[in-house]
Every structure is written in C-alpha cells, then in structure tokens.
C-alpha cells in the first residue's frame, strides 16, 4: 500500500518533469528538469529493489552526462523565437514518433506487470553481485564486445578532434617541469659595491630626498 | 528501552501506525544526532583552519572573541545570519535560491551511510560505496546552477571551471575506490572497515600495517589529492580564484545563502576525511591492539584520524600555491586516471597469485 503510494508520487513527478523537459522555454530549465526526471526514475528503480541500476543511473547520467550537457547548454545563446518557428510543421511527425514509443513501452511493461511479479529475494541477496555474476559469466563475450566497441568509439572521437594547428602556441608542461635552475638563471660574478654613504645618495632615485 | 518506546508508540497510534511513527521519530533523532556534531565540527573547522594556518605563518590567528578566540565561529555565524540576502537584478530567482540548497543537500545526505563505530550507522546499506559515489557527483550541481543563475560573468566562469574540474577528478576518485572495493569484496562501508582488521599483521596485533593504506598506497595518494580537488580546496581552488574571478560561483551571494556554500565546502572536507579514514586507515580500529590503545572507544579513533586528515587539508592549503588550470586538468586526466587504471590491473593480478594478502 505504502509502496504504491510512493510509486504514484514518483510517477507523477517523473511525468511532470518529462513534460517540462519539452515544454520549458528556457533550455537550461529543460536540462534541469531532465536531471529531475533521471533522479525520479532512479528512485522508482530503487523502489523495485534494483539499487545497483538506480545508483548507476545517478552516477553516470546525473553526475556526469547531464553536467556536461548543462555545461554546453549554459554557454549557448539561444533565440527562443527562432526555435519555435517550425513547431507546427514538425508536430505531426513528433506526435507519430511519440505514439509509437508509448505503444512499444506499453507492450513491454504491461506484459511484465500483468504477468508474475518476481518473488522477494532471500536474505543476504546483493543486487550488485547478482548483476555482476550474470554479466561476467553468462554474457561475458557480449559484454567484452560492447566494451571494445565503446573503446573504439572513444579513440575515434579523440582522433577526430585531435588536429595539430601549426600556428597554435601552447605550453608543454613536461618541458616546463624539466626546467632546471641553470636553464633560466645566470650568476654573474661582480665586484662588491662600496658602502660610502655620500655616493649612495647619488645613486638614490630622483625625488627621494625631497 | 527501545521495546518500551515501541510499545508506547503502538499504544498511542495503534497497531498499524505505531511502528511507522516509532521508526520515523527514531530516524529523525538519529539524524539530529549526526547533524548537530557535524555542524559544530564545521564551525570549529573554520576556526581551526585560521588558527593552524596562522601558526604555520607565524601569526596568532583569531584571538579576540571569547577565550583564545573560541567563540569566533559563533560571531561569524551571527554576522552572516543578520546580513541581508541580496538578489541580483535579472538573476533567475528560483534557481538562485535553489543552488545553495543543491550544494548542501548531497554533503549532508552522504553522512547517512558513514559508520562511526561497529554497528553505529544510520543506514547500513549494501551499496553504501555506490551511494556515496552518486551523492558526491551531485555536489557539482550547486556550483554550476549558482554560477548560471546569478547572471554574472565571474560566477559563470567559476561554474564552468568547476564543472570540468569536478567531473574530471570524480573519475580518478571512483577508480581509486574501485581498487578498495576489489580488495574488500564489498560495497558496504562497515564490511570494508572490518576487512582491514584482518591479515597477518593484524593477527600479530599490528592492525596499523593491515590497513589498506600500505598495500594501496598509490590509491591513497590519488584519492586524497582528488578529494582536495573535488572539494575545490587550495591548491585546486581555481573555481573560486580570488585573484582572477574574485570568488567564482558564490560572488553574487550574501548572508546565509553564501554561508550555505561555505558550510557545504567544509562539510565535504569532513566527508572526504571520513571516507579516507574508512577506506584506507581502518576506520574506527585502533592502530595497535594492545592495552593503552584499546582504551579509547572506536568512535574516538575515527574522530582522531578524521581530525588528522582534515588538518592535512589545511596544511596543504598553507603550503602550496594555486595550480594553473591546464595543469589541474593534466594532473587529473593524464596522471591520476592512468595510474589508477594500471593499479587496478596490478591489484587484480596480485589477488590471483599465491601471494595475495586478501
């Protein structure tokens, strides 16, 4: 009973946040509502006792992806009028895509909800351990392949942006660290200067004795 | 005592709501029991910071308010309470008010899973370490929302710097914790501490040498330095950068809204100190299991170790000049992350050999 009530509250917040993501005029607000949506989704997963997935969602999406997303959105100077120009033209397509999404999700979720619910776990059951057990034994090869694909994508992304401009002036920290005193400082042997007070007055800058 | 309270609650609120009320009230009391000492700790950390850095720089530090300056934090708090909270023109009102809350919330919520002594923990959850990783990654929102919402270029520059810096160092920190997780085989913080009390040296009474700091020394260094960077403390405090961007994300804040950022920063320092102690210095365990050392209660050892680590933060601040921004990024991405990745492999191989000590 209590869990159902909590689920309803979270579900309402999630729907509200999701709606605000697409209706908010300010893109920064939209991004922050997306953060709220992720957070609420993670709370609902927590309610289903999938704590590893719930926390992973927060660590990955809320903690890293959305921060960088906000980082970019905040720096944009977005003209709201121009963004809304094609709204009515694109609406039919958007509604069609949204409708298909809803139908697909209903098909998947309804099947699980009306079927048998998973029984309660035995004592000492660790979600993380169970997930790791399946991921690294039964699905070890697909998992490794996914990892390699991601690695290739990372390297490709870096390689695409890595172009050396000839006219750029940049510092090489390694070189800076390797600098020794002898590279920068030259000790010149000089004779000691005399400490005659009458001559020291001559050397004083103008206006000092006024 | 607790049974009696439970039955009293059942008598007053009925069979169904009695246990619910009892649990809620009990948890609230426990939360207050953690928050109040924590707030005091934060208040006196500001004084200790000024005193310690004062002594290091051959000054006296605050000594006017109260005996030896002991009431200085109270005076500071009072002053901040009485100041007006100014809302900058064209600031985004809702987010401007939300930002300090977003900074403080994760710093407070993280304490729920910190074990202070055996079985003395508010929420003994299995995924405690993950929960901490998630919450510490939320701290950056307070800073970037503050920077954007205050409609000021200095605040915004500070927010940009912090977003990049905190996300980068989170990775190194996370990987360092993965190594700890590998050797303890648990995400539960109490289990991680208990695991450090076992081993050849611990059996001989030298618990000190069984703690994670010795076999995982490079991870300790990476974790602690990343912790300093994550809390935006000197020498990584380019986010505030008084000399370049005046005070970064909190420049437009005044009075208590400014104080909340300050509270969050110092609370995060205590949190990183607590985590360093729990992960690497055996938590509440006494360093040597012989008579005079075991007299102190476990929580006493935890607090002593935390105090030492927090003082290390201040010592670093008093010693090193501020990093240049590109050097901060280089340290995080090109040194710490490769070091942690290599050490994950090293420890993984080590654990499979007959010489494994875990």
Q: Helix, strand, or coil here: B321?
A: coil
Task: Choose the closest CB to B134 out of A55, A68, A127.
Answer: A55
Q: Helix, strand, or coil here: B177?
A: helix
Cβ distance B144 to A70 less than 8 Å, yes or no, reads yes
pLDDT at A210: 43
In this prediction, residue B18 has a pLDDT band, given cuts at 50, 70 and 90, of confident
For the record, the structure tokens of B69 come out as: 């300056």
Distance of residue B332 Cα from the nearest chain A Cα, in angstroms: 14
List, for residues B193-233, the tens digit of each pLDDT value: 888 877 777 777 777 777 888 888 888 999 999 989 888 88
Average confidence (pLDDT) over A167-180: 79
pLDDT at A195: 72
In this prediction, residue A51 has a pLDDT band, given cuts at 50, 70 and 90, of confident
Distance of residue A96 Cα from the nearest chain B Cα, in angstroms: 34
Residue A192 reports pLDDT greater than 50: yes
CA distance A9 to A25: 25
Give A53-85 as a DSSP string.
Answer: HHHHHIIIIIIIIHHHHHHHHHH----HHHHTT
Q: How distant is the alpha carbon of residue A118 from its chain centre?
A: 33
Range in A72-76, B62-66, B75-79 the model is least confident about: A72-76
pLDDT at B1: 60
C-beta neighbour count of B331 within 10 angstroms: 20
List, for residues B247-264, the tens digit of each pLDDT value: 778 888 888 888 888 888
In 3D, which of B134, B118, B21, B175 has the Cα closest to residue A63?
A: B134
Residue B276 reports pLDDT greater than 80: yes
- State pTM to two decimals: 0.79
pLDDT at A114: 59
In this prediction, residue A78 has a pLDDT band, given cuts at 50, 70 and 90, of low
Specify the higher pLDDT residue, B190 or A78: B190
Q: Helix, strand, or coil here: B236?
A: coil
B229 with B337: CB under 8 angstroms?
A: no
pLDDT at A116: 47
pLDDT at A120: 57
Q: Which of A57, A63, A124 to mutate to test the interface with B (most CBs of B within 10 A)?
A: A63
User: b or e along B7-34 (b: 16 or more beta carbons within 10 Å of the residue's beta carbon)?
Assistant: eebbeeeeeeebeeebeeeeeeeeeeeb
CA distance B138 to B106: 6
pLDDT at A119: 52
Residue A209 reports pLDDT greater than 60: no
pLDDT at A56: 83
Specify the higher pLDDT residue, A159 or A85: A159
C-beta neighbour count of A73 within 10 angstroms: 18
Residue B149 reports pLDDT greater than 50: yes
Phi, psi of B321 (to 5 degrees): -75, 165
B264 with B177: CB under 8 angstroms?
A: no
Residue A201 reports pLDDT greater than 70: no
pLDDT at A196: 67
Give chain A as a DSSP string.
Answer: -HHHHHHHHHHHHHHHHHHHHHH-SSHHHHHHHHHHHHHHHHHHHHHTT-HHHHHHHIIIIIIIIHHHHHHHHHH----HHHHTTTHHHHHHHHHHHHHHHHHHHHHHHHHHHHSPPPPPPPTT--HHHHHHHIIIIITHHHHHHHHHHHHHHHHHHHHHH----TT-----HHHHHH--HHHH--PPP-PPPP--HHHHHHHSPTTTT-
Cβ distance B167 to A64 less than 8 Å, yes or no, reads yes
Average confidence (pLDDT) over B302-323: 89
Contacts 24+ apart (CB under 8 A), B301-308: B302/B116, B302/B117, B302/B274, B302/B277, B305/B277, B305/B281, B306/B270, B306/B273, B306/B274, B306/B277, B307/B273
pLDDT at A208: 47
Residue A83 reports pLDDT greater than 80: no
Which letter does DSSP use for residue B300 in this model? H
Average confidence (pLDDT) over A23-34: 84
B339 with B223: CB under 8 angstroms?
A: no
Tell me which residues of chain B, numbers 83 to 142, contact chain A at a CB-CB cutoff of 8 Å.
Answer: 95, 125-127, 130-131, 133-134, 137-138, 140-141
What is the interface pTM, i.e. ipTM, of the complex? 0.76
Q: Assess B259–A contact: CB distance below 8 Å, yes or no.
A: no
Range in A186-190, B120-124, B130-134, B164-168 the model is least confident about: B120-124
Residues from A in contact with B at Cβ < 8 Å? 28, 32, 35, 51-52, 55-56, 58-59, 62-64, 67-68, 70-71, 74-75, 126-128, 171, 173
Cβ distance A55 to B131 less than 8 Å, yes or no, reads yes
Mean pLDDT of chain B: 84
């Amino acid at each position: 009973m209590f869990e159902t009530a909590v689920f309803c509250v979270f579900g309402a917040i999630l729907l509200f946040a999701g709606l605000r993501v697409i209706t908010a005029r300010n893109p920064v607000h939209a991004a922050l509502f997306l953060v709220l949506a992720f957070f609420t989704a993670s709370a609902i997963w927590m309610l289903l006792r999938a704590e590893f997935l719930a926390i992973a969602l927060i660590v990955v999406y809320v903690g890293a992806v959305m921060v960088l997303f906000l980082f970019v959105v905040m720096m944009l100077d977005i003209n709201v009028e121009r963004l809304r120009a094609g709204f009515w033209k694109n609406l039919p397509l958007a509604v069609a895509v949204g409708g298909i999404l809803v139908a697909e999700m209903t098909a998947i979720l309804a099947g699980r909800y009306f079927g048998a619910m998973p029984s309660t776990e035995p004592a000492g059951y660790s979600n993380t351990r169970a997930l790791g057990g399946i991921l690294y034994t039964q699905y070890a090869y697909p998992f490794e392949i996914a990892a390699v694909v991601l690695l290739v994508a990372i390297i490709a992304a870096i390689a695409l942006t890595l172009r050396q401009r000839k006219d750029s002036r940049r510092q090489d920290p390694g070189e800076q660290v390797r600098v020794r005193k002898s590279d920068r400082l030259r000790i010149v042997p000089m004779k000691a200067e005399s400490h005659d007070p009458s001559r020291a007055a001559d050397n004083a800058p103008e206006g000092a004795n006024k | 005592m607790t049974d009696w309270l439970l039955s009293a609650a059942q008598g007053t609120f009925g069979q169904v709501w009695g246990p619910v009320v009892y649990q809620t009230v009990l948890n609230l009391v426990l939360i207050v029991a953690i928050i109040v000492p924590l707030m005091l700790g934060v208040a006196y950390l500001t004084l200790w910071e000024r005193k310690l850095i004062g002594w290091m720089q051959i000054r006296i530090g605050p000594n006017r308010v109260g005996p030896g300056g002991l009431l200085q934090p109270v005076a500071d708090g009072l002053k901040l309470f009485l100041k007006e909270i100014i809302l900058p023109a064209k600031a985004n009102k809702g987010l401007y008010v939300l930002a300090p809350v977003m900074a403080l919330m994760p710093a407070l919520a993280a304490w729920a899973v910190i074990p202070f002594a055996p079985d003395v923990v508010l929420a003994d959850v299995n995924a405690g370490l993950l929960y901490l990783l998630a919450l510490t990654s939320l701290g950056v929102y307070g800073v970037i929302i503050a920077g954007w919402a205050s409609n000021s270029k200095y605040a915004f520059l500070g927010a940009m710097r912090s977003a990049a810096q905190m996300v980068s160092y989170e990775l190194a920190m996370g990987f360092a914790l993965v190594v700890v997780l590998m050797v303890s085989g648990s995400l539960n913080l109490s289990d991680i501490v208990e695991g450090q009390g076992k081993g050849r040296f611990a059996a001989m009474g030298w618990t000190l040498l069984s703690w994670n700091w010795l076999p995982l020394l490079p991870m300790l260094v990476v974790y602690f330095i990343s912790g300093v960077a994550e809390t935006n403390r000197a020498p990584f405090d380019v986010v505030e950068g008084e000399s370049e961007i005046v005070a970064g994300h909190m420049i437009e804040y005044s009075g208590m809204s400014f104080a909340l950022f300050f509270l969050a920063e110092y609370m995060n320092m205590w949190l990183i100190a607590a985590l360093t102690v729990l992960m690497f210095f055996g938590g509440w365990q006494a360093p040597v299991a012989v008579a005079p050392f075991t007299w102190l209660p476990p929580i006493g050892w935890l607090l002593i170790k935390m105090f030492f680590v927090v003082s290390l933060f201040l010592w670093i601040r008093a010693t090193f000049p501020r990093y240049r921004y590109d050097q901060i990024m280089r340290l995080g991405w090109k040194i710490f992350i490769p070091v942690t990745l290599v050490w994950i492999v090293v420890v993984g191989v080590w654990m499979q050999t007959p010489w494994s000590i875990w």
